[in-house]
Amino acid sequence: MIRHGFILLTFCAAITGYTVAAAQERRPIAWDGLGQDPNRPPVTKRRVVNQAPAASDPNRERERVLATLRPYSDAWWAVHDEIEAENDRQLGTKLVICPRCVPPPSEDVTGSVR
């Protein structure tokens, strides 16, 4: 009986030693902060090229005209609305919304969304 207990104890110790050794291999390495963090994979940096304002920017001429008009007059508001519409159009070309993120419109829904 003692012999079976000794064999079982040896077997359990061997398995425990293996799992501890495997867990230690996957443990994060200490980082002193002076070099690269060994726990993070290297990241390739991308350079973002600043785009120069387009020479054919339609709002540039509109802003010049807007500066010459009397503030808040009908003509001023017309040019201001054109500038805002162009800004919205440019933003709409850059803005990407995931189709799954926006629920489809429903005709029977009224009030706020909760």
Which residues, 6+ apart, have CB-to-CB distance to 87 below 8 Å?
A: 59
Cα 97 from chain centre: 13
- The letter for the amino acid at 15 is I
Selection from 40, 43, 16, 44 nearest residue 29 by Cα:
40
56-69 pLDDT, tens digit per residue, is 788 999 999 999 99
12 compared with 63, residue with greater pLDDT: 63
End-to-end CA distance of the chain: give it in Å, rounded.
68
Dmax over Cα atoms in the chain, in whole Å? 105
- This model's pTM is above 0.75: no
10 compared with 48, residue with greater pLDDT: 10
Per-residue model confidence (pLDDT) at position 1: 77
Per-residue model confidence (pLDDT) at position 86: 94
- The whole-angstrom separation of Cα 9 and Cα 55 is 81
Per-residue model confidence (pLDDT) at position 21: 55
CB contact at 8 A, 66 and 84 = no
pLDDT confidence tier of residue 79, bands split at 50, 70 and 90? very high
For range 42-46, the mean pLDDT? 71
Over 60: is that where the pLDDT of 95 sits? yes
- The letter for the amino acid at 11 is F
